[in-house]
């Protein structure tokens, strides 16, 4: 199964073809998602989503309406911003007062990035599964991933089962090595 991605020219034409109604809908959606975010304006979210799709950073499947894809990118950007806010909510002073040495702590992002890189290396031969992992890391949900990659429900479930089998195999190997 091949992944369908729009070319830059297709994306540019689709962005230029967005109607006023679609832009207003994206504005309302971005305003709603931006509530509670610090230093993030809805205009920035909408523009970042458009720029990321134009640059190819967020692949767009032409069979998906562009406005829906941009909304999923906005949702993903907001999720990432909220996660970053949550991770930064614990100040170094609070950690120090509770007996933790911040310098001795390994940053969670570093651990997650390392584990994700290791998983990608192990799953490299399975292109579909590797692409699903990338999109999950970006914060996309199941339906968005299926649309972006052009996967059916059965294709997605099959990939999920392959990932579960890989996880079970990895856990068994780890248990055998530790025994």
pLDDT score for 168? 77
pLDDT score for 102? 46
pLDDT score for 17? 94
Q: How confident is the model at residue 151 (pLDDT cuts 50, 70, 90)?
A: confident
> Percent of the chain scored above 70 by pLDDT?
77
Q: What whole-number distance in Å separates Cα of residue 14 and Cα of residue 50?
A: 11
pLDDT of 113 strictly over 70: no
The whole-chain average pLDDT of the chain stands at 79
The more confidently predicted of residues 138 and 79 is 79
The more confidently predicted of residues 95 and 31 is 31
Q: In this structure, what token pair is assigned to residue 133?
A: 């992992």
pTM for the model stands at 0.50
pLDDT score for 88? 63
Cβ contact 144:132 at 8 Å:
no
Q: What whole-number distance in Å separates Cα of residue 148 and Cα of residue 161?
A: 20
**Residue extents of the structural domains in the chain:** 1-88, 108-179
Residue 42 makes CB contacts below 8 A (sequence gap 6+) with 27, 30, 31, 33, 34
pLDDT of 126 strictly over 90: no
Q: In this structure, what token pair is assigned to residue 26?
A: 């994206």
Cβ contact 74:33 at 8 Å:
yes
pLDDT of 106 strictly over 50: no
Cβ contact 101:111 at 8 Å:
no
pLDDT score for 103? 46
pLDDT of 25 strictly over 80: yes
Q: How confident is the model at residue 171 (pLDDT cuts 50, 70, 90)?
A: low
Q: In this structure, what token pair is assigned to residue 16?
A: 């230029």
Q: In this structure, what token pair is assigned to residue 20?
A: 């006023």
Chain Cα centroid distance, residue 1: 22
């Amino acid at each position: 199964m091949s992944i369908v991605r729009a070319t830059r020219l297709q994306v540019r034409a689709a962005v230029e073809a967005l109607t006023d109604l679609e832009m207003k809908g994206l504005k309302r959606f971005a305003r709603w998602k931006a509530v509670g975010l610090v230093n993030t304006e809805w205009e920035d979210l909408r523009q970042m989503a458009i720029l990321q799709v134009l640059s190819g950073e967020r692949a767009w499947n032409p069979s998906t309406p562009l406005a829906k894809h941009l909304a999923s990118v906005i949702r993903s950007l907001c999720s990432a911003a909220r996660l970053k806010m949550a991770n930064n909510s614990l100040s170094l002073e609070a950690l120090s007062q509770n007996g933790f040495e911040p310098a001795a702590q390994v940053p969670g992002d570093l651990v997650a990035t390392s584990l994700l890189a290791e998983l990608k290396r192990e799953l490299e031969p399975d292109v579909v599964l590797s692409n699903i992992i990338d999109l999950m890391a970006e914060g996309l949900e199941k339906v968005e991933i299926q649309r972006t990659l052009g996967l059916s429900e059965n294709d997605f479930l099959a990939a999920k089962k392959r990932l579960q089998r890989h996880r079970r195999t990895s856990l068994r190997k780890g248990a055998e090595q530790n025994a």
